[in-house]
Structure 1
Amino acid sequence: EKNALDHRAHQVERLLHRGRQPEKNDAADAEAIAEAASRPTMRFVAVKTEEQQARSMIFRTRDLLVRQRTQLINALRGDIAEHGVVAPQGPAHVKRLADSIEDEESLIQPIVRDVGRLYLQQIAIYSEKIAELEKTLHREAARSETTARLQTMPGIGPITAIAIETYAPPLETFRRGRDFAAWLGLVPLQKSTGGKQKLGRTSKMGQRDIRRLLIVGAMAVVRWAARKGPPEGSWLARMLARKPPMLVAIALANKMARSAWAMLTKRENYRDPAVASA
């Protein structure tokens, strides 16, 4: 990237030397580019490999299909609710809607049944395509040592591991785990002044795909701990005793990001803190 910036700055300087006027802001751009390229602490965006770009396309396509399926499910729920059939949110409850539409003894109008079947057909098509893409992501996750190592951590599955490997730069570029968590937007906003430390809400100013998946995985761990009971005396047990579950999940996602940085930079699998301290 540094060579490309130097080349761009040289092009603009040559245009100015010949008396030609470049596009507006080119002179200011060239000056900023040359200054940035000369700074030893400047960090540039890592170039993704072709394999990473291919995985990114699979991941984003699956994400798009999931959103479109959710739109169809919500539209069907809203329409059927006006005819007396109420079902909870989520694809797991589509069968309840389908059973109500196919129930000949219900009072649903024939036109509503026909349109409802059209919705169900489209939802089934989306579900099939999503399942195919997830199988592809699982195969890709099984091929990589990095994704296999990440999956040793509770709350990280194949899709989250693929997202970290695809969207995150080499974790060695971050000096510590907190820098990686900050890059994801999982740290509090700094509002410190006058020597007083003031931390605000979670910034959410980072890579949203990895952040969302880490929070979803952390929420699954929190729900499992709330149902089965966390290890006695563990960090999770102390947090659940005094904080709301969603806040604990975000804090756990922050710890998961730091642990992922440590695992990948040190090339070690996940070690349970409770077991390690025993």
Structure 2
Amino acid sequence: MTHFVGIDVSLETSCVCIVDASGRVVRELIAESEPEVLATALLDTKLDFSRVGLEAGPMSQWLHAGLAQVGLPAVLIETRRLRAAPKTMPIKTDRNDARAIAQVVRTGWFRAVHVKSVLSQELRGLLGARKLLVGKVRDLDNAVRALLRSFGLKMGQIGERAFAERARELVEGRAALQTVLAPLLEARAALLAQRDRLHRMVLMAVRSDPICRRLMTVPGVGPVTALTFCSAVDDPNRFTRSRAVGAHFGLTPRRYQSGETDRTGHISKQGDALARQALYEAANVLLTRTQRWSALKAWGITLAKRAGMRRAKVAVARKLAVVLHRMWRDGTEFRWSRGATAA
């Protein structure tokens, strides 16, 4: 008889529930959240497993790889689809969550999450680390501005490299402020150095990737956007239609339809937030900074006149996702004519 497994993953230990084809709980156990330990615990039961389900999360891909390596039919379950199942339980416990996951896996009422390659996960880690340092530099800049502003000292519009020198000029002759400001500027300089180091690593990764270089022929798409898109999609063949990529990144409107009610709302903002942000920034560059005209820019500018620039940028971001995916699958360059937006 075939069996189904639900695993509720925690940092230290995971709850495991095994059910049969009728939904009856056959066995429950707790094991360490290590691939080898979980695999051994399941294999020692001597049962035949049809599916082993894990909720998508920070540790899930690592555990999935370890379970799949020993031949277990592991699947990652999309969190949004799984969210409703545990709510049917009157009491929220890890044991009940594992039971709910097992029943969802048994019935097939779930959507499997794509498991990214190790390379894509590593690139995503690089991009995430770079974004973190970019944010920390911005936070320090804002903190310095706020500190000086409270004493009537205004930084004004200043470039990134001249920021520290301008701050020192403003506090010249004020020993107390100099003492407070010096550690902040030293920390900022260290963050800038490490951010630039990570950015150079991004440029090196793009330089050695022909796909990223081809995607950068699209106006507005730079190294960060190209690498973010490639690491987020991972395998272009998992999307049968290029139009589905925009929805995958949460760039299509929500819709609520029930009876006489039919409302279309803002974009769903589901999926990879880092890729969605990169596409939006690329759309902003395309519409506001790129000098050369293309069919895509003309379409976006026309939409901006009718619906506003903000909505136009979101729409162009969705179009960019479609175009980039089609270029990746077809192996083509960006076409500045109307054919570039036909996919």
TM-score of the pair, normalised by structure 2:
0.66
Match of 2:142 among 74, 99, 104: 74
* 1:122 aligned partner: 187
Matches within 5 A, 1:1-278: 8=5, 12-13=18-19, 24-25=95-96, 26-36=98-108, 44-88=112-156, 92=159, 95-96=162-163, 98-102=165-169, 109-194=174-259, 198-224=263-289, 228=291, 230=293, 234-274=298-338
Q: Is the 8 A contact 2:153 2:170 kept in 1?
A: no
Higher helix share: 1
Cα pair distance change 1:266/1:6, threshold 3 Å:
farther
Give the CA deviation at 1:276. Answer: 6.7
Separation in 2, partners of 1:7, 1:19? 10
Partner Cα separation in structure 1 for residue 5 and residue 340 of structure 2: 53
Residue aligned with 1:167, SS: helix
RMSD over equivalenced CA pairs, Å = 3.3
- Once residues 220 and 88 of structure 1 are traced to their aligned partners in structure 2, the CA distance between those partners, rounded to angstroms, is 24
Higher strand share: 2
- Structure 1: segments with no counterpart, 5+ residues: none
Summarize the Cα distance change of 1:272–1:18 in structure 2 as closer, same or farther, 3 Å threshold.
Answer: closer
Asked if the contact 1:219–1:249 (Cα under 8 Å) also holds between the matched residues in 2, the reply is yes
The alpha-carbon deviation at position 243 of structure 1 amounts to 3.4
Q: 1:137 to 1:97 in 2, by over 3 A?
A: closer
Q: Percent identity?
A: 22
* 1:142 Cα offset (Å): 1.4
Q: Secondary structure at the match of 1:12?
A: strand
Spell out structure 1 runs of 4+ moving beyond 6 A. Answer: 16-19
Tell me the alpha carbon deviations over residues 138-192 of structure 1, each in whole angstroms, 9 at most, x when there is no partner. 1111112221221111111111111112122422222322321111011111123
How far did 1:248 drift? 1.5
8 A Cα contact 1:152 1:269, kept in partner: yes
Greater relative contact order, per chain length (Cα 8 Å cut-off, separation 6+): 1
CA contact (8 A) 1:98 1:120 kept: no
Q: Tell me the number of residue pairs that the alignment of Structure 1 and Structure 2 aligns.
A: 263
Q: What do the CA deviations read for 1:56-113 (whole angstroms, capped 9, x no partner)?
A: 2211111111111111111100001112222357x83562563242357x6x621112
